[in-house]
Chain A
């Protein structure tokens, strides 16, 4: 499986604080993604990147920003965390063409 590492694995933070989640992949994949997973909603795309410094919004991007300064790293930032952003966040990556998507093991974020 693709070497995708997410950090931290768990985080508890207070409402209004900034939070950054990190994703690191070792497969030299061009595309990287951030999803959130919530009961009843499945996996929803937050933001994605199609190359260094190239990012775009997904389905649920409000309240989130991303940055990709290197091929291997994709950061997700919550500028001011809210309780509605309590969720499990998954990073994923894939190569070009029809190569399939591979996921990290997730970050469980709790906003109190």
Chain B
């Protein structure tokens, strides 16, 4: 079946550093989504990307939909302690297809 490779699996960084994570797929997607999950809660949508090459920002977060439609990255600038959590990418085929999720990147931030 389809798979999404998300990397890195975990990151331990100093407060103030920039963070970059990415997802790649063997399949072409029409939509890429990025979610953050805090402990004990459900994933919360951060950014949605709908067009190849699209670059979208949400505060200190920036995500891009790769030109090949098989990859996406998420950058977090000037990390702060509340950025701690697990970040998931998800890809969707077509407008009705189900989402395929990456296995997540666990981010730890040292004050």
A residues in contact (CB < 8 Å) with B: 1, 4, 33, 40-43, 45, 48, 50, 58-59, 90, 92, 96-98, 100-106
What are 27 inter-chain pairs, A to B, with CB distance below 8 A?
A: A1-B44, A4-B42, A33-B98, A41-B103, A42-B88, A42-B102, A45-B98, A45-B99, A48-B98, A50-B96, A90-B42, A90-B43, A96-B95, A97-B95, A98-B30, A98-B31, A98-B50, A98-B95, A100-B45, A101-B90, A101-B99, A103-B35, A103-B43, A103-B44, A105-B40, A105-B41, A106-B42
Q: How far is the CB of A104 from chain B (nearest CB, A)?
A: 5
Q: How far is the CB of A106 from chain B (nearest CB, A)?
A: 5
Bound together, the chains give a CA A59 to CA B45 distance in angstroms of: 22
The size class of the interface chain B forms with chain A is 20 to 34
- Residue interface bits B20-51, CB-to-A below 8 A is 1, else 0: 00000000001101010000111111001010
Given contacts A42-B88, A42-B103, A42-B104, contact A59 B1 (CB under 8 A): yes
Q: A101 and B42: CB pair below 8 A? A: no
B41 and chain A: residue at smallest CB distance: A105
B47 and chain A: residue at smallest CB distance: A100
Q: Which of B42, B50, B95, B98 has the most CB of A within 10 A?
A: B42
Q: How far is the CB of A88 from chain B (nearest CB, A)?
A: 9
Bound together, the chains give a CA A1 to CA B48 distance in angstroms of: 14
Bound together, the chains give a CA A85 to CA B58 distance in angstroms of: 36
- Residue interface bits B88-111, CB-to-A below 8 A is 1, else 0: 101000011011011110000000
Q: Which of A45, A98, A101, A105 has the most CB of B within 10 A?
A: A101
